[in-house]
Amino acid sequence: MDQIITAAVAVVAVPLVLLGYIVLGERVIEALPDRLQVAIRPYFWALPAIGFATIFMIYPLVRTVIISFRNSEDSDWIGFANYKYFFTFPDTLTSLRNSLLWLIFYTSISVILGLVIAILLDRVRYESLAKIAIFLPVPISAVAASIIWKFMFDYQAPGTPQTGTLNALIGTIGHEPVAWLINSTTNNAALIFVGIWTVTGFCMVIISASLKAISTEVLEAARMDGANEFQIVRLVVTPLLWPTITVVGTTMIINALKTFDIVYVMTNGAYDTDVIATQMFSQLQHSHYGRAAAVGVVLFIAIVPLLVVNIRRFQQQEEQR
Amino acid sequence: MSAEQVTTRRESAVGAGVSTLDRLGYRLQRLPLHLVIIIFCAIWLVPTVGMIINSFRGVSDMGNSGWWTTLFPPHGFTLESYQQVLAIEGVTPSILYSVLITIPATVIQLAIATMGAYAFAWMNFPGRNLFFIVIVGLMVVPIQMTLIPVLQFFQLIHLNGTIMAVWLAHSGYGLPFEVFLLRNYLGGLPREIFESAEVDGAGHSVRFLRIAVPMTIPAIASLTIFVFLGIWNDLLVALTFLGTSPYRPFTVVITGLVTSLGGGWQFLTAAAVLQMALPLAVFIFLQRYFVRGITSGSVKG
Amino acid sequence: MAEVFARLSSRAIALGLGTLLLVAACSTGGTTGNQGASSTDVTVWTAWGGDELKAFRDVLKPFTDKTGIKVHITTNRDSTNQIANGIAAGTDLPDVAPGPTDPTQVKSWVSKGALKPIETALGSDQFKSYIDNTYPALTTPPSGQSDNPYIGVINGKHYFLMVKTQVKGLFWYNKKVFTGTAPKTFDELLALNPSQYGGAKNIFCAGFESGAASGWPASDQIDNIIMRQSGDQIYTNWIQGKVKFTDPAIKLGYQTFLKEVSGSTVFGGSNTALSTNFAKAGDPLFNSPPGCLFLEQATFIANFFHQNKGVTAGTDFDFFAHPSMGKTEFDGNVNGFYDQFSMYNDTPAARQLLQYLATKDAQQIWANAGGTLGAIKTLTYNDPIYKRAAEIANGAKNLLVTAGDFMPSDMQKAFWQSLLNVTRDPGSLDSQLKHLDQVQAAAYTTS
């Protein structure tokens, strides 16, 4: 019972406290000389966010970097040995290759689908309903999604009734059942497809929110000028959505690199489907903290260029407004 | 991205005084559009519908035949799986705990993220880009690497095992993406609005609270859905930071549905349906904020 | 306007801050752990769920009725990691939970004082009778050694309390189909002609799929082969990483295993073996015509037969023990595994709980619920299957653990998946073994 009270108070108190923080803080800042104001204000506003990030992410990141140079008993420095392991060990190399596949296909297809679906749905009356359909896989946990797709990919011996939807479908055209998750040619694609299936709704919702902010006047003007629908999408809508697409794309790239649940629950990386995160997990389980840390650091470094691109675009955005 | 009073696209496309034949032609033209949408919806719906149907079937049925066989008699529907789920000890309170964990954590992090994003988007300060890269880049850090240091921190301030620790942990882990998305949205708001407000004597707090936030509602609404979802479906953070506390959310209690060997996995279909019900409801409820015109009336030209 | 706003906010702030502080004070006082209530409450973490959990609650009922102690059970499949994190960060640990399977972790946790001795929990009298009544292989290191981390014995002290046992490597058959005598050797087993028995298609059924743990049934099969082919010394050394995978003994084990899953011997071919979930792997035994003659699996599969196909143990199906691999000196090696609890907080309630779980009465409830053997030798089993299995456990010279479960987790994953890979591509055996050696070299080191 006290939990409920705590929660209720938190829900009310936190926004109030932040409100007070902003209002009172601003009153104090406004009383300061101009130059001091401009210098202090940004830190004041960003302090809660930076504070949280420091405790929960920055300090652990620093610790991770340090651990990546030590052995798993944390008793000795071993230089770049963990990094060397990561880049030369065949298992980790396979996982790198697979993560690259995820990076390319998962990201591009889910962003493109999200964009296309958002644009298409914007044009029909039953948009809300269709949105729910596409969004439906998103709230499903990875374990549940794996159950769903186990039903879809299920394989029974040839000649026996198929319980898997896909094998039943190809059975109707006389094709032998396929062991989707075991066969090397199909398994990575199958897993990546499940990933895309679960996340397209997310891309669609975020892009749709930005799509709605595009004024119809702009679109009408383009139509007046004689542009057809395809041209409008290509030359007017997409450029306006580009900032959001970049954000969604970056998030998808990070998601692709971090993909763990789907691969873990469906195959745990068997039959060459391993990805970076599942590799790392098995290292962690055996307390190879150093190796797991090295992977974390490599991932962080890998996305920094991506973020620099984002920063550049934000700067463009600022120049334009 | 300017904000204006708008008319729906459909109205502008099909004006008054159009003949029936024209309307039919218009509809036919749109047939491919509808077809494509329906195909997409089918691909996205069918697997989930399959699972939902399976959740109403008996255990042995599920293992022996595909879900589509229920469309023909004998249908074999049963509430067996749901009964199993609801019979787990402590399952009903766990739904409450899930709510108690999710709502405050969502509110906390969205509030902090919006403030921080506003600062990154509209204020210039040294180290701004560096901070931003670090905060957003942290999205990639695997959460397992942060567990021990964060546990030590909570130990220091005596919060381990409390629900507040879970709120703070979720907030910390969720902030990077939220700051990222909100900065993008906030940064795209037109400068003129803020400038005219500044001219009118509005300080930063007013500009933030009465202009920036209302105009960011679509982004905040869409974020709310995903933040809510992420916390609602979470298992690891709850398990780690609640430690030995007996107040466990739904996700933790559900693991007790299946034996350590995986026996009883069929009941998970019912658990999954129950678990996705609330986030789905939140999504449907927040749909109203995804309409054009929510940011109406605040700008001229 | 801004003035009104600010004034309003100031009051709200005061209220908000005040309540927040109050709340923080309340919540930290209220729910952190159960330190003050340690003689009336005990927290238990377990990997059990579903029917296992139900059986556990049934076992606990007499205990809670008699002592009034509240047992807070949480199903936690990640408990080893969480406890490891907890030890490193100094947070509260559960009172009772399974101990780690990794030998290095066992030693490390003992040296850090996280694991408390069972001797302390039970007291010397009950501890002595615990040792006397439990299967010796579960509590006594091989003679001449003071340690066996696999059963939680470090420096002569015990840190695992054994409560349940399973026997593995049993060959299950449909009594109405296989009417012959149990083959005594593996060669005899392979020489059987399935079509003679009710038109069965293949000798074996197999199902290795198990979600994230896929491959463990295959590991059971090869373990039972190796321990009987090459003996317990090589087997135990292999688990510890002291015998390579390319060693002739292990390679021979793989080759023998492949005979059990070849296209001609296993029902539906290798794809079916790989795709079928272990719980359903035995269903073809009861089809008509039968898909296969035998399923090699542990004692717990009897429950799944009953659930899936409605058949009864003893009347419809039975098992025979793993046939000899031809080396009689190794025939006494039996594969089993156990469920155990360790004590992490030495509280009166935790001690009482463990004392109760070590009694015959408690474990008899498990035996009556079916689906498992207890750890005590003298339990009675109504089920003929479990009665016989208990005899096998009793008569075993060495009850050996399952190899994969006690290897470092990255080694375990590679090992299990190597079995899946060779089942899919038998020709890849040599490259798989070489790869396993690489993993082994890296897995057992500490960097």
- Taking only the tens place, the pLDDT of each residue in B30-49 is 788 889 899 999 999 988 88
Question: Does C354 map to a domain?
Answer: yes
CATH code for the domain of C77: 3.40.190.10
Q: Over 60: is that where the pLDDT of C8 sits?
A: no
The total of other beta-carbon atoms located within 10 Å of residue C248's CB is: 9
Q: Does C409 touch chain B (CB under 8 A)?
A: no
Q: Which of residues 203-262 of C touch B (CB under 8 A)?
A: 210-211, 213
Last residue of a domain, one of C363, C378, C399: C399
pLDDT of residue C186: 92
Cα–chain center distance at C210: 14
pLDDT of residue C16: 61
Q: Over 50: is that where the pLDDT of B8 sits?
A: no
**pLDDT confidence tier of residue A162, bands split at 50, 70 and 90:** confident
Q: Tens digit of pLDDT for each residue in A88-141?
A: 888 888 888 999 999 999 999 999 999 999 988 888 888 888 998 999 898 888
Q: What is the mean pLDDT of residues A57-85?
A: 85
pLDDT of residue C23: 59
Contact between chains at B44 and A134 (C-beta distance less than 8 A): yes
Least confident of A184-193, B99-108, B244-253: B244-253
Residue C378's alpha-carbon distances to B253, C158, C170, in angstroms, are 35, 21, 21
Residues C145 and C284 grouped into a single domain: no
State how far residue C85 is from chain B, nearest Cα, in angstroms. Answer: 6
Contact between chains at C211 and A268 (C-beta distance less than 8 A): yes
Domain that holds residue C103: 41-167+338-399
Domain ranges of chain B: 90-300
Which residues from A are below 8 Å from B2, CB to CB?
215
Cβ proximity of C106 and C99 under 8 Å:
yes
- Beta bridge partner(s), residue C319: C172
pLDDT of residue C7: 57
> For residue B190, which phi and psi values (nearest 5 degrees)?
-70, 135
> Per this entry, what is the length of chain A?
321
Q: Average model confidence (pLDDT) for chain A?
A: 85
Task: Indicate the residue of C12, C214, C275 with minimum beta-carbon distance to A19.
Answer: C12
Q: Tens digit of pLDDT for each residue in C266-303?
A: 998 999 999 998 988 999 999 888 999 999 999 889 88
pLDDT of residue B5: 35
Residue C406's alpha-carbon distances to A152, A220, C102, in angstroms, are 34, 69, 6
Mutate to test the interface with B, among C85, C214, C372 (most CBs of B within 10 A): C85
The total of other beta-carbon atoms located within 10 Å of residue C243's CB is: 19
Task: Indicate the residue of A117, A147, A220 with minimum beta-carbon distance to B268.
Answer: A147
State how far residue B293 is from chain A, nearest Cα, in angstroms. Answer: 8
> Which chains contact C through at least 3 pairs of Cβ atoms less than 8 Å apart?
A, B
Cβ proximity of B140 and B180 under 8 Å:
no
> Which chains contact B through at least 3 pairs of Cβ atoms less than 8 Å apart?
A, C
State how far residue B8 is from chain C, nearest Cα, in angstroms. Answer: 36
Residues C255 and C270 grouped into a single domain: yes
Task: Indicate the residue of A58, A60, A165 with minimum beta-carbon distance to B66.
Answer: A165
Residues C308 and C376 grouped into a single domain: no
Q: What is the mean pLDDT of residues C89-103?
A: 90
pLDDT of residue A289: 82
Which residues from A are below 8 Å from B12, CB to CB?
216, 220
Which residues from A are below 8 Å from B64, CB to CB?
163
Contact between chains at C9 and A14 (C-beta distance less than 8 A): no
Residues C46 and C89 grouped into a single domain: yes
Q: Tens digit of pLDDT for each residue in B53-62?
A: 888 888 777 7
Q: Which residues are within 8 A (CB) of A75 and not within 5 positions of it... i.e. 6 or more apart?
A: none
Contact between chains at C31 and B247 (C-beta distance less than 8 A): yes
Percent of chain C surpassing pLDDT 90? 51
Contact between chains at A165 and B280 (C-beta distance less than 8 A): no
**pLDDT confidence tier of residue C343, bands split at 50, 70 and 90:** very high
Contact between chains at C447 and A19 (C-beta distance less than 8 A): no
**pLDDT confidence tier of residue A192, bands split at 50, 70 and 90:** very high
B90-300 adopts what CATH topology? MetI-like fold (1.10.3720)
Which residues from C are below 8 Å from A81, CB to CB?
447
Q: Which residues are within 8 A (CB) of B228 and not within 5 positions of it... i.e. 6 or more apart?
A: B102, B103, B106, B279, B282
Question: Does C186 map to a domain?
Answer: yes
pLDDT of residue B231: 93
Which residues from A are below 8 Å from C292, CB to CB?
none
**Cis peptide bond upstream of B214, omega within 30:** no
SS3 C336: strand
Q: Over 90: is that where the pLDDT of C263 sits?
A: no
pLDDT of residue A282: 81
Q: Which residue of A has its CA nearest to B35?
A: A120
Q: Which of residues 15-44 of B touch A (CB under 8 A)?
A: 30, 33-34, 36-37, 40-41, 43-44
Task: Indicate the residue of A147, A200, A304 with minimum beta-carbon distance to B272.
Answer: A147
pLDDT of residue B293: 46
Residues C391 and C408 grouped into a single domain: no
Chain B to chain C, count of Cβ pairs less than 8 Å apart? 123
Contact between chains at B218 and A64 (C-beta distance less than 8 A): no
Q: Does B12 touch chain A (CB under 8 A)?
A: yes
Q: Average model confidence (pLDDT) for chain C?
A: 87
Q: Which residues are within 8 A (CB) of B118 and not within 5 positions of it... i.e. 6 or more apart?
A: A45, B182, B186, B208, B212
Q: Which of residues 219-258 of B touch A (CB under 8 A)?
A: 219, 221-222, 225-226, 229, 232-233, 247, 251
**pLDDT confidence tier of residue C228, bands split at 50, 70 and 90:** very high
pLDDT of residue C36: 46
Euclidean distance between CA atoms C67 and C316, whole angstroms: 42
- Please count the structural domains in chain C: 2
Q: What is the mean pLDDT of residues C354-360?
A: 94
> The tokens of C352 are what?
């009482």
Contact between chains at C52 and B260 (C-beta distance less than 8 A): yes
H or E element in which residue C320 lies: strand C317-320
Mutate to test the interface with B, among C31, C43, C44, C372 (most CBs of B within 10 A): C31
Task: Indicate the residue of C24, C34, C91 with minimum beta-carbon distance to B164.
Answer: C24
Q: Tens digit of pLDDT for each residue in C418-446?
A: 999 999 999 999 999 999 999 998 888 75
pLDDT of residue B63: 67
**Report field, pTM of the whole predicted structure over 0.90:** no
**pLDDT confidence tier of residue C13, bands split at 50, 70 and 90:** low
**pLDDT confidence tier of residue B2, bands split at 50, 70 and 90:** very low
pLDDT of residue B12: 46
Task: Indicate the residue of A14, A16, A179 with minimum beta-carbon distance to C12.
Answer: A16
**pLDDT confidence tier of residue C5, bands split at 50, 70 and 90:** low
Percent of chain B surpassing pLDDT 70? 89
**pLDDT confidence tier of residue C232, bands split at 50, 70 and 90:** confident
Query: Could you tell me whether strands C153-154 and C292-297 are parallel, antiparallel, or unpaired per DSSP bridges?
Result: unpaired
Least confident of A208-212, A216-220, C4-8, C346-350: C4-8
Residues C175 and C322 grouped into a single domain: yes
Q: Does domain A81-320 have CATH number 3.90.400.10?
A: no
Q: What is the mean pLDDT of residues B226-240?
A: 90
